[in-house]
Amino acid sequence: MPLVSVIIPNHNSIKFIKATLDSVFKQTHKNIEIIIIDDGSTDGSFEYISDLKNQNVKLIKNPGKGACAARNYGLKIATGDYIQFLDADDLLDPEKIRVQVELLETTNEKIAACSTLHFYETPTEGIITDTAFLYNTDNIHEFLLNLYGADGKTHTMVAQHAWLTPRTVIDRAGYWDESLIKDQDGEFFCRVVMASNGVCFAEKVLCYYRKHKRAGSVSSGKSEKHLRSQLESLNSKAAQLEKVRDTKFYRNAMALQYKIIAIDAYPMHKTTYKAAINKVNQFGGSTYEPVLGGKIIETIKSIFGWRAAKSFSVFIHKYVKV
């Protein structure tokens, strides 16, 4: 039975780590090693994991380095034939690893994906939005471009724990880019898919992505550093797919993805906005426009355009106390 290494970065996850580990302990595929890299936790989660006394769990400290460094550290000590990445607040279906291992054992260095259920409090209240984008294929370029928006209208992402990957494929793809602070997983798994011989879709299992409600502003998660990281990640993806640059699907997808960054950057971060919108124009433009707010914001968008709507939204959040 193939060995699967489950790599979990941990930083102050005491609220969620028990449920996350339980979802791994309950896997019907039993040949698993669990590698937890702790990034300086102070909330008791390190002590909780230490007290488990589970021989399949390896707990190692690597403080102050971040999640990507933790994953890379885990990769360096992992001995599994397959690698399962899992954040300390997310969950796996009990059959997830078994089903994907069985699929991959019949292929030559493909990688496996499954759909993701997004939830806040409990999985029963979650939603699945990616199934239409996931399928069995040997065409890795087509698969990635469909994710990124080949039709110029729709796009999605595959959660990092939706994948199960042969270690040999990761060895070709390389480690996580520790300089990125946003879309690290998107950049990494673009390289992983490109290093593979195709994608297997596990239809009957799920992974569960826990979302967190944050009191926040319009700029939450959209600082200059975050947006620059997202831009660097997308530049890497565009370069990875250079072979199909002359297709309309590549131009559609890249224009859509750069426009997302341009919209997020406008009007607060003009340097990043200009860099992203220049890329949009280079790829022929994009009509893609996400929902930016409530009825008033959307009305402004429909009449005056998305830039006016974004400017008004930023003004309201910055100067008007609700």
Domain regions of the chain by residue span: 4-210, 223-288, 291-322
pTM summary value? 0.94
The residues with which 203 forms a beta bridge, in sequence order, are none
Question: Cα(278)–Cα(136) distance, rounded to whole angstroms?
Answer: 35
CATH assignment, 4-210? 3.90.550.10
How would you write the pLDDT of the chain (322 residues) with one tens digit per residue? 999 999 999 999 999 999 999 999 999 999 999 999 999 999 999 999 999 988 899 999 998 889 999 999 999 999 999 999 999 999 999 999 999 999 999 999 999 999 999 999 889 889 999 999 999 999 999 999 999 999 999 999 999 999 999 999 999 999 999 999 999 999 999 999 999 999 999 999 999 999 987 644 333 468 999 999 999 999 999 999 999 999 999 999 999 999 999 999 999 999 999 999 999 999 999 999 999 999 999 999 999 999 999 999 988 877 665 4
Give the pLDDT of residue 217. 34
Parallel, antiparallel or unpaired: strands 57-61 and 82-85: unpaired
Interior CA angle at 237 toward 235 and 239, to 5°?
Answer: 70
Q: Cβ neighbours of residue 176 under 8 Å, at least 6 residues apart? A: 68, 69, 71, 72, 184, 188
Q: Are 17 and 52 in contact (CB under 8 A)?
A: no
Question: Cα(282)–Cα(12) distance, rounded to whole angstroms?
Answer: 43
